[in-house]
Amino acid sequence: MKLLLDTHIFLWVNADDPKLSKKARRLIDEAQEVFVSSVVFWELAIKISRGDLDADMDELKLALYGNSFTVLPVTVEHACATAALPWHHKGPFDRLLVAQAITEPLRLLTVDRQLEPYSDLILFA
């Protein structure tokens, strides 16, 4: 299975946070490949610059590569796919992650239950 991590999951993996469930850890460990979207880093950069998150972008980049995660760039196809999504969720970052999961296809690992109606590609941690 190929996984795409949402922002919370990426942060929890990086911090070895107990909020990361055993199920999520197992899925990540057993995945054929684990992707982190560049949209996750866009969201993190915004939250850090606004003061909503106390983290260091350089350390987060090191964690990305240190965990051997694959970067998933945002493509025109991903962006265009958001137009076809119903408005179950209004967050632009999450909508783009859903569009990427559907377009690629990848299993999106998240804790956000509002994403459930979008696809059976959504997995909950």
CATH number of the CATH domain containing 95? 3.40.50.1010
What share of the chain has pLDDT > 90, as a percent?
A: 99
Containing structural domain, residue 30: 2-124
- Catalogue the E-assigned strands of 26-77: 33-37, 70-72
Q: Exposed e or buried b for every residue in 44-56, given b needs 16+ CB within 10 A?
A: beebeeeeeeeee
pLDDT in tens, 88-99: 999 999 999 999
**pLDDT at residue 82, as a whole number:** 97
Domain count for the chain: 1
| Mean predicted confidence (pLDDT) in 4-32 | 96
pLDDT in tens, 37-88: 999 999 999 999 999 999 999 999 999 999 999 999 999 999 999 999 999 9
pTM, 2 dp: 0.95
- Catalogue the E-assigned strands of the chain: 2-5, 33-37, 70-72, 107-110, 122-124
Under 8 Å CB-to-CB from 23, ≥6 apart: which residues?
Answer: 125
Selection from 118, 111, 114, 124 nearest residue 11 by Cα: 111
**pLDDT at residue 27, as a whole number:** 97
**pLDDT at residue 125, as a whole number:** 87
Mean pLDDT of the chain: 96
Selection from 59, 102, 116 nearest residue 125 by Cα: 116
pLDDT > 90? residue 17:
yes
